[in-house]
């Protein structure tokens, strides 16, 4: 299914790894949980929970400008986490890492701040037809505010971007391109290197929605030459409430601040306020200190297991799932891209996805159903939604087998 050559990596001992995740041991309806909703959020390893506990019991304190010991400790840990994030995605500078609330918040920051500075009436923003609402609505809002137009790269029946249409849409009017690396509802892996190269050739910056990529494939923002890269902590085994915006220094320095408040200023008088330097200019108010620090711990954990080893394990598992699901009669895949990762969406006969989800749930199998915040994709395929199984490296082949059995049982009940 994937066309990428598989690099030999250490084989992961999944049964051992599963022990790191307390929630995976929790039974649901008295049976072992089969958690296949990882694209919505991932479970957390014990080290992440310990890091959280450690923060609150040993050095919880407000950060920045504090003279006292705890504040120094908290600040150091928080800034250390920023360094870890920079290292994880190979950013050139630490101050290119902005702590946000999540992918949605990161994209809103760019849409609003970049838009206010660079979007004029008649300009265009180019997104794709497979974007998550979080990479659609912020652009709709700022386009309306600035009198700009939103243009959309269409997809084909396999759920892939129509790149020939992209070439045509990439006119001089486009001020920014915003696309997802990996589709959360289709599993498609987009050719973002090509997109970035072409956009840059036309002098246009690119935002990559990395919400479904950061946990599955190695990210090197410098190699990709992405101008902005957004992701959420909770989808990469970290806590809820924290996310990252990577932005190139050149752009971030040009953009006006997004929110105002403590920490993001240098000097405040009622007559004139001067803003702080990066990254603080974009971090108003007390940050999610625990969240930032613990996201760092989550990235440490991922790095220790190895993201390429994770990718390999997941690719093999998804290939297995794809093969087994293919064998179910009257099951059809929604999105069948040549290159996929993370999630598999499907429908069975005319069974409503909501009914399928409920019957799977009763068998202790957690999948997601519905439009997955990508309504335009559902409209394109003219369906009410899909059933989506999404995988993490801690999932196993026997869980896939349970999913297949669960679907067969649901079919017997519902068809």
The secondary structure of 127-162 as a DSSP string is EETT--GGGTHHHHHHHHHHT-EEEEE-B-TTS-B-
Site for other proteins in 314-373 (CB under 8 A): 352-355, 358-359, 362, 369-371
Binding status of residue 360 toward a second copy by CB under 8 A: yes
Return the number of other C-beta atoms located less than 10 Å from residue 202's C-beta. Answer: 11
- Token pair, residue 189, equals 């892996």
Burial code (b: 16+ CB inside 10 Å, e: under 16) for 354-371 equals eebbebbeebbbbbbbbb
Write down the least CB distance from residue 362 to other proteins, Å: 5
Write down the least CB distance from residue 238 to ligand PLP, Å: 11
Residue selected from 104, 113, 128, 188 as contacting ligand PLP according to rule CB under 6 A: 104
Write down the least CB distance from residue 389 to other proteins, Å: 17
DSSP state of 9: -
Binding status of residue 395 toward ligand PLP by CB under 6 A: no
Write down the least CB distance from residue 415 to ligand PLP, Å: 30
Binding status of residue 272 toward other proteins by CB under 8 A: no
Site for other proteins in 368-397 (CB under 8 A): 369-371, 384-385
Site for ligand PLP in 117-136 (CB under 6 A): 132, 134-135
Total chain residues near ligand PLP (CB under 6 A): 17
Total chain residues near other proteins (CB under 8 A): 26
Binding status of residue 335 toward ligand PLP by CB under 6 A: no
Between 137-146 and 103-118, two packed helices, what is the crossing angle to 10 degrees? 20
Of residues 200, 79, 175, 191, the one with CA closest to residue 130: 191
Catalytic residue among 33, 70, 163, 373: 373
Q: Which residues, 6+ apart, have CB-to-CB distance to 329 below 8 Å?
A: none
Residue selected from 212, 390, 395, 396 as contacting ligand PLP according to rule CB under 6 A: 212
**Annotation marks residue 373 as catalytic:** yes
CA distance 365 to 28: 9
Of residues 114, 122, 154, 121, the one with CA closest to residue 138: 114
Instruction: List residues near ligand PLP by CB under 6 A.
Output: 39, 102-104, 132, 134-135, 180, 184, 209, 211-212, 232, 262, 285-286, 373
């Amino acid at each position: 299914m994937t066309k990428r050559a598989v690099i030999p990596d250490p084989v992961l001992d999944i049964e051992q790894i599963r022990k790191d995740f307390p929630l995976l041991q929790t039974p649901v309806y008295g049976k072992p949980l089969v958690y296949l909703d990882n694209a919505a959020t991932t479970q957390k390893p014990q080290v992440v929970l310990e890091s959280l506990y450690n923060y609150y019991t040993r050095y919880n304190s407000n950060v920045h400008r504090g003279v006292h010991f705890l504040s120094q400790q908290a600040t150091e840990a928080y800034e250390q986490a920023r360094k870890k994030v920079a290292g994880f995605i190979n950013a050139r500078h630490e101050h290119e890492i902005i702590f946000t609330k999540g992918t949605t918040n990161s994209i809103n920051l760019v849409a609003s701040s970049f838009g206010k500075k660079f979007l004029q009436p008649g300009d265009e923003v180019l997104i794709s037809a497979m974007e998550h609402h979080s990479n659609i609505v912020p652009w709709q809002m700022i386009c309306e505010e600035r009198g700009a137009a939103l243009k959309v790269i269409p997809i084909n029946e396999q759920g892939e971007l129509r790149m020939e249409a992209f070439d045509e849409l990439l006119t001089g009017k486009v001020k920014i391109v915003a696309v997802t690396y990996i589709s959360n509802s289709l599993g498609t892996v987009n050719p973002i290197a090509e997109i970035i190269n072409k956009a840059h050739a036309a002098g246009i910056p690119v935002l990559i929605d990395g919400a479904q990529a950061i946990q599955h494939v190695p990210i090197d923002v410098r190699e990709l030459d992405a101008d902005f890269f957004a992701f959420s902590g909770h989808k990469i085994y970290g806590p809820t409430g924290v996310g990252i915006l990577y932005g190139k220094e050149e752009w971030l320095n040009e953009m006006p601040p997004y929110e105002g408040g403590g920490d993001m200023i240098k000097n405040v008088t009622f007559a004139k306020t001067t803003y702080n330097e990066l990254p603080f200019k974009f971090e108003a108010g007390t940050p999610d200190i625990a969240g930032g620090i613990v996201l760092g711990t989550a990235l440490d954990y991922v790095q220790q297991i190895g993201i390429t080893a994770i990718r390999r394990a997941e690719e093999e598992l998804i290939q297995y799932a794809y093969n087994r699901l293919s064998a179910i009669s009257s099951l059809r895949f929604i999105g069948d891209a040549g290159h996929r990762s993370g999630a598999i969406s499907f429908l069975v006969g005319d069974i409503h996805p909501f009914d399928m989800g409920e019957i799977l749930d009763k068998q202790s199998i957690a999948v997601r159903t519905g439009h997955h915040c990508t309504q335009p994709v559902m409209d394109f395929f003219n369906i009410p939604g899909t059933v989506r199984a999404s995988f993490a490296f801690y999932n196993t082949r026997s869980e896939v087998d349970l999913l297949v059995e669960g679907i067969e049982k649901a079919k017997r009940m519902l068809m």
